[in-house]
Amino acid sequence: MRILVADDSRTSRMILSAVLKNWGFDPVLAEDGKCAWETLQQPDAPGLAILDWSMPGLSGLEVCRLVRRMNITDPPYIIMLTSKGEKEDIVFGLEAGANDYVAKPYDNAELHARIKVGQRMVEMQAEMNRVKSALSYEASHDPLTATMNRRAVLNVLEKEFIRSERESTQLTIGLLDIDHFKKINDTFGHRVGDEVLCGLVRVIEESIRVYDCVGRYGGEEFLVITPSKDNVIKEEVYERLSKAVSSAQMQTAAGPVCITLSAGVACRKENDTVDSLLDAADAALYRAKAQGRNRTVYAQ
């Protein structure tokens, strides 16, 4: 574990650095508070910091306050080294953002114990962040295809719709439906049907632009969102996507399976709402199916 040691005394830094190395830690040294603050702002900042209370430029207390104002999910665990032994000073330091303190001159055994506590807290915080990230991903992604689920893709649509209104730019959406998907399930089984869905998502993601997005709208239906900054309806996006799908072979346990798509595409109009935009795309999709499928129909 990397530990930041900030002390304006070179002798104190070297002694503490040697002690930390002996305990199996990787010390990162800072000669004053300014250097410590710069180090703690780095993406790979140490997870634990030992700061001397009194330093030129920025005191350890001031560094604490700056760190606690940072909007980060894994703030460092901070131990203050101080010769101030009055209870009100200690409370003042903890209120400034320090997690713990050790009085100078410190006892090595006590310091080691307090660092181990800090290490456990840092590791617990990292695990909590990992679990939180995993839960957030599961809540917003379809477990089968790993693309956004209905709720997540509709949240994206809400945001893109508001931005399109605010910036007076174009927003186009497409509802895509696999033609005769039930026949695939009936012929090859649902396992192959699942593999086709996953293969379709890969083709879609490879065909759309980096700032477009796709989500599973329901069953074999997918919603594609294509914002445009130049007020031009990007019809070629959907044409290219449709051709890519019809020419692709979805690799499954039953061998290659070819599919086609019916698509309904709608462009945001002045008095549209999110619901009316979705309704327009849905109506266009219905017409695509009625006209024989394997085609893209644009809302009028």
Domain boundaries, the chain: 2-139, 150-298
Contact between 50 and 100 under an 8 Å Cβ cutoff? The reply is: no
Active-site residue identified among 220, 221, 236, 239:
220
Architecture of domain 2-139: 3-Layer(aba) Sandwich (3.40)
**Residue segments in the chain with a per-residue pLDDT below the cut of 70:** 84-88, 230-235
CA distances from 221 to 26, 29, 78, 138 (A): 52, 56, 51, 20
Task: Locate all alpha helices (DSSP H) within 141-234, ordered by sequence.
Answer: 150-167, 181-188, 190-207
Beta-bridge partners for 51: 6, 80
| Secondary structure of 49-109 in HEC code, one letter for each residue | EEEECCCCCCCHHHHHHHHHCCCCCCCCEEEEEECCCCHHHHHHHHHHCCCEEEECCCCHH
- Say what the pLDDT of residue 167 is: 92
pTM of the model: 0.74
Distance separating alpha carbons of residues 79 and 64, to the nearest angstrom: 10
> CA triplet 118, 120, 124: central angle to 5 degrees?
115
Contact between 260 and 183 under an 8 Å Cβ cutoff? The reply is: no
Distance separating alpha carbons of residues 256 and 76, to the nearest angstrom: 52
Fold match between domain 2-139 and domain 150-298: no
- Say what the pLDDT of residue 87 is: 64
Q: Let me know if 220 is a catalytic residue.
A: yes
- Say what the pLDDT of residue 10 is: 94
Angle between helical axes of 60-68 and 87-96 (0-180°, round to 10): 40
Residue 159: both structure tokens together: 């945001």
Architecture of domain 150-298: 2-Layer Sandwich (3.30)
Contact between 52 and 78 under an 8 Å Cβ cutoff? The reply is: no
